[in-house]
Structure 1
């Protein structure tokens, strides 16, 4: 891998997000500012003040012009990245906004923005109008994930994953278990929902069947989840090894041994499959970025070391490059 360009935020890179068309890259620092870069040249286009007490999460509208951010000031902010201006400031409902996430384009209506702040889940229109609010979670909401192509949202909290629809007054159900879910990932076909959990386990939920599997043996709590493009394999973190479960067949990973990819010397922080290809990105606290092709074996295809822990990383939409953010604020663009 070759470093194409480098920039820097004021401190720890807490989130990175590419616009769907690859035209822009947004990066948020833990102290609050949000920077927007040209996706090809790496030139900074805008530096938004962001959130006074710190930024937490970024999310792009499917059309790519509108960027949402959530932060520790309790606000959701909408930014027009073409004109370089803030278009709305929304009250998240608690002291900090943990997550923001836009729904996909679908036949069910216009994209909807979801925000999680404490126990408050709110749905917003593109113009910043509050569409619906739920405050029924038993604990702070840790993560949000829209079902692919649908207006159905999963929210992680104590007691499992909770399902919501922005057009319905009642919640859509609970995938219940006695523990705290920290991370969510829908399979591409929407048939399975994976959760990474506080007790160092991973749950696989067969949503329509209300059936689940639980996998043990992780070193620490699991926050890293990534499905391959076909929904056949789930890569998980929760330690310094990449653990990949084979989810094919009626029983899924039940009773199987996962594939283990070993190269990192400290806990993983990022896992991401290509959306159209078969390569897997892993990054960790050891400062190492590794690209794998698990179907071809357990040896890395490429790797690149950095001098500090990696706090965020993502494939570019064309899947030829990787952007990497460090806890020191460095932002690098790698070509494969």
Structure 2
């Protein structure tokens, strides 16, 4: 195994070093003779004498693994050691743990949901996973359960009772508590809409409280419900995105509503509103999806006060089925690992200009704009060690006859926004995810272009999960 990336770049050779290197390269060129030798001489000179030159590295020199899969149905997750991935088997509903260096499947976990309708949640330390879905083939039976796994041992540690009609849910960051919204209005119970929190270690219901609409809907028959929920990183608060267009933030232990915020102009809007906490828990970001663009609301997570608003480019939605997933925040934004900075793909409504801009996540102040690169950026990811910001990039765009064939993974210096280097990659790299130790970067890449199935059309299809060594 190669040595882990060091924190400082290799220094530029001094004059004496360059003179020795020139002599050695000249001899190498003469020995190889002719054009091939001179070509190699030029490549080696560029690589060693000018190490800061922007280069595109061939895919086969750093790709370790390629596994066929569907991004919309086969989510993946790095395990704690940074050398293994847990992925959904494309042929069965089970999970495989893969060694990314050897490509060996080291373990298979049998899913409790053979019908595939499930949601997956992970603890922040990459150890625990909860699968949540239907246990029956007919979803109208509403027999939903949650199953918790310890990925280190490969064993189930908790199984909930049947949860009836349950909508949104989430696992606390440390993997101890599972929250869900349950609507029992059809049963005639007085407190029919409530949030439940389960202690999965002690196998008991920890707390439950009722929730209700804060704004009346335009039509009486419109049903109030909680669309999504998300735990704060410290596991003390839950933020609820509700169908009336309001955001409610609750203190879990006290069953107390702390603050609310209205993102949508009208109640029960059709515009989707998503959410994401900063890793340090100080900022809550709301993502309001609209036609052709999205609006970001940056809120103080303690008070709910608006810090900043952004218009974010969202022109890549529709490239393939995976871009329609409601939880793909990484297509437009990425938090630094410490939660201090936020990278956004900004859209200027007046000029149509798109750029990658870095903001202070606590004040909303713009820090810098990343060096522009040619192409169409897809998704972002900061390396956990804080050195790199990586993004998928369709270099030739979508209107070209090449149809995204010339795609790369672009790397910037995370502290300055300077473009450093790129890796060649198959079409449209999406869902970028770094290993915890920053040695590897996993992405989904399209293999096919312009695929038509019956009356349906998909720009990209035939995806594969691929792992690259970053060095």
Give the TM-score normalised by the residue count of structure 1: 0.76
Aligned residue for 2:425? 305
Residue 317 (structure 1) aligned with residue 436 (structure 2): yes
Match for residue 237 of structure 2 among 152, 156, 162: 152
Residue 289 (structure 1) aligned with residue 405 (structure 2): no
Q: 1:146 to 1:248 in 2, by over 3 A?
A: closer
Q: 1:16 to 1:53 in 2, by over 3 A?
A: closer
Q: For each residue in 1:229-252, what CA deviation from the matched residue of structure 2 results, as whole angstroms up to 9, or x when unmatched?
A: 343321134779563242277x53
Q: 1:288 to 1:115 in 2, by over 3 A?
A: farther
Contact kept in structure 2, 1:229 and 1:278, CA below 8 Å = no
Aligned counterparts of 1:142 and 1:293: Cα–Cα separation in 2: 37
Q: 1:124 to 1:95 in 2, by over 3 A?
A: closer
Aligned residue for 1:252? 364
Aligned residue for 2:289? 198
Q: 1:328 to 1:80 in 2, by over 3 A?
A: farther
Aligned counterparts of 2:369 and 2:82: Cα–Cα separation in 1: 32
Aligned residue for 1:234? 342
Aligned counterparts, 1:241-280, within 5 A: 243-247=356-360, 251-253=363-365, 259=369, 262-263=372-373, 265-266=375-376, 268=378, 270-280=379-389
Q: Which has the higher contact order (CA 8 A, sep 6+)?
A: 1
Aligned length: 324
Match for residue 60 of structure 1 among 106, 111, 123: 123
Aligned residue for 2:177? 112
Structure 2, gaps ≥5 residues long? 1-58, 136-143, 184-192, 214-223, 266-270, 318-327, 348-352, 395-403, 446-460
Structure 1, gaps ≥5 residues long? 106-110
Q: Which structure is larger by alpha-carbon Rg, 1 or 2?
A: 2
Contact kept in structure 1, 2:311 and 2:346, CA below 8 Å = no
Quote the offset at 1:315 in angstroms: 0.7
205-214 or 81-90, which deviates more: 81-90
Aligned counterparts of 1:20 and 1:184: Cα–Cα separation in 2: 25
Secondary structure at the aligned position of 1:198 is classed as strand
Aligned residue for 1:123? 197
Aligned residue for 1:25? 85
Aligned residue for 1:108? none
RMSD: 3.9
Secondary structure at the aligned position of 1:148 is classed as coil
Aligned counterparts of 2:92 and 2:199: Cα–Cα separation in 1: 24
Quote the offset at 1:46 in angstroms: 0.9
Q: Which has the higher helix share?
A: 2
Contact kept in structure 2, 1:18 and 1:25, CA below 8 Å = yes
Aligned residue for 2:68? 8
Aligned residue for 2:145? 75
Q: 1:328 to 1:207 in 2, by over 3 A?
A: same
Aligned counterparts of 1:284 and 1:77: Cα–Cα separation in 2: 37
Aligned counterparts of 2:409 and 2:197: Cα–Cα separation in 1: 35
Aligned counterparts of 1:212 and 1:70: Cα–Cα separation in 2: 33
